[in-house]
Amino acid sequence: MKQLKDLIDISRFYGSDKDFTLAGGGNTSYKDEKYIWVKASGASLATITEDGFAKLYREKVKITGEKQYSEDEHVRERQVKKDLIAANVHPEKGKRPSVETSFHELINYAFVVHMHPTFTNALMCARDSEQVTRRLFGDEVLYIGYAPGYSLFLKVKGAVSGYRKKFKHDPKIIFLENHGVFVSADTTAEIREMYTFLTDRIKSEISFLEAFAPLPEEKELDGILPYIRMKLSEDSSKVLSFRHSTLHRHFYDDGEQFGKVSKPFTPDIIVYCKSSYLYIEETSNREKLIASIDKKLDDFKRKHGCFPRIIVLKDFGLLSVEDNKESAEIALDVYEDLMKISFYSEAFGGPRFMSDTEIEFIDNWEVENYRRKISRGTASGNSIDQRIVVVTGGAQGFGEGIATDLVSRGANVVIADINDKMGKATTERLSQNCAKNRVFFKKTDVSDPGSLEELVHETVIKFGGIDVFISNAGILYAGGIDELSPAEFDKMTSVNYHAWYYCVRAAAPVMKIQSAAKPGYTMDMIQINSKSGLAGSNRNFAYSGAKFGGIGLTQSFALELAPHGIKVNAVCPGNFFEGPLWADPRKGLFVQYLNAGKVPGAKILEDVKRHYEEKVPMKRGCRVEDVMNAIYYVIDQQYETGQAIPVTGGQLMLS
């Protein structure tokens, strides 16, 4: 049906534009004589398909505009919800119609597109909104004062009835105070024209339009964000998102400016950010800041019964803390929109917040709590879900396999690799498989301590801390004593031995801060070592020696870091024959060993591979899933550290 295609197209058009809708908000509809298709709760307009719409019988939806419901607001909302669900043509699909379906049915045009545009809401959430709206748009638009839920529908119904008597047709633009706007027409092309018109008209009244610019993310945050994250991780570890821009600076300079963004303007803000936000002004030095954080978080929880989701840090920026990375990013998007609304509302008399009574209703409204639940999702229940994991050498080979498995289980993963092209490609591929978690790439040279410090800083800024650091990056040049040059030996040692120390040195301070904020919380440093770290390797002394040394470091780090809740272990895989380290046709180990004559009598690559498979009692090479089982064991257990765990198919057996 062409009309449904048009509905999907316009839904995606506005749903993917953050100036019009955020967090899957807004709703759209199309109706013919018998049915109405309206966005289902929880569907995202940006990616919606036909399956994202609830198909309803119009006659049954009309009942919600005619029926007498309870005088009790909360009982009434439940009754309306029940009737809307009962209007479903396909109840077996479990599609919950948008709470605003009755609005869509009320308006006689075929298409209705309801959005919460930033510039529209800068007017709708301003003290002089009604007066300015009348001046800008005249009487042919409707302006509706704020009301929640079904009460708002009744106000709109009465206003539309009066409008019809006066103009003999339905209004095409309905402005909703502290909410948004409904734009309706019989074609989506006309709706686009009207949205452009009203947005341009409002923007023409603002003389201080500004392109907000990013600001630097200070290095001091490495000692602050992990502390905040863990202080807020009471029942489970949270994920943090952080941003810093000229928009944030405008409001964090002093308490008076923060006051202009201290309460919500619209129901959507309450759904994703709650109704109270924390401002921390004492940031002159870390000690005073930490003391202020402790006191203000305790005070906030005593007053509100929960910790804040949004924190504004003077001189540093804006952060959100949530159960998952996706929700944390959404919260920042929505709160930044609140900031923009407040900023631009100064052109229309300054900001006007929702009242305490209005806020309380939305905070406790089942419909909005349902939206909040859908947005946040549910935890998978596995121990790695939403934890923050760094994987060095994560662009290919074992590292790529490790990262892939972690992402599939819901971990937030930072892929660190010196190969920029492969790293970006792997990150892009894995990002397509994310649910509520996220993947980022950071180009990193593990033989450079400064590069690793940048990696840790970037991880803290992206996620708020580090739970697991997997040192996997490694290189191997085969050769005997007379064949390997001193330069090659130094390079091998730098990447395979020194880098393990550099990784721990860079990540340990962040983990120690997390431990101080939440005593008893455990974290993991894991080196992907090798069977060559457990037994010498003929004509492979540089690699084997570095790996032996890595196990010595592992045991020593474990002793030093155990008091801080940091477990340090090594996983020692056997040969990964399918990976590029072995199988690369130009420089893989099969080629190197064949050329070096390491396997007597070998004529072709298959001879070399067969030789090494025969050394394994289980007659095959190590696989990614074998290594992952060891990694998850290390993370899950709470009473083991300093171990070197063989994953060799029986090729090496410890006694």
Catalytic residues: 543
First to last CA, the chain: 71
Residue 279 phi/psi, 5-degree rounding, is -115, 125
Counts of helices then strands in the chain (DSSP H, E) = 26, 18
Residues 6+ apart with CB under 8 A from 651: 531, 574, 615, 616, 617
Residues 6+ apart with CB under 8 A from 218: 315, 316
- In angstroms, how far is CA 505 from the centroid of its own chain? 27
Closest CA to 514 of 386, 388, 407: 388
Cα–Cα distance measured from residue 116 to residue 196, given in angstroms and rounded to the nearest whole number: 14
Cα–Cα distance measured from residue 159 to residue 646, given in angstroms and rounded to the nearest whole number: 74
Burial class of 494 by CB neighbour count within 10 A (0 to 12, 13 to 18, 19+): middle
Residue 370 corresponds to which amino acid? Y
Cα–Cα distance measured from residue 280 to residue 295, given in angstroms and rounded to the nearest whole number: 10
Token readout for 163 is 């409008």
Q: What is the DSSP string of 587-604?
A: TSHHHHHHHHT-STT--S
Question: Order of strands across the sheet with 468-471?
Answer: 439-443, 412-417, 388-392, 468-471, 523-528, 566-573, 644-647
Helix (H) or strand (E) holding 293: helix 286-304
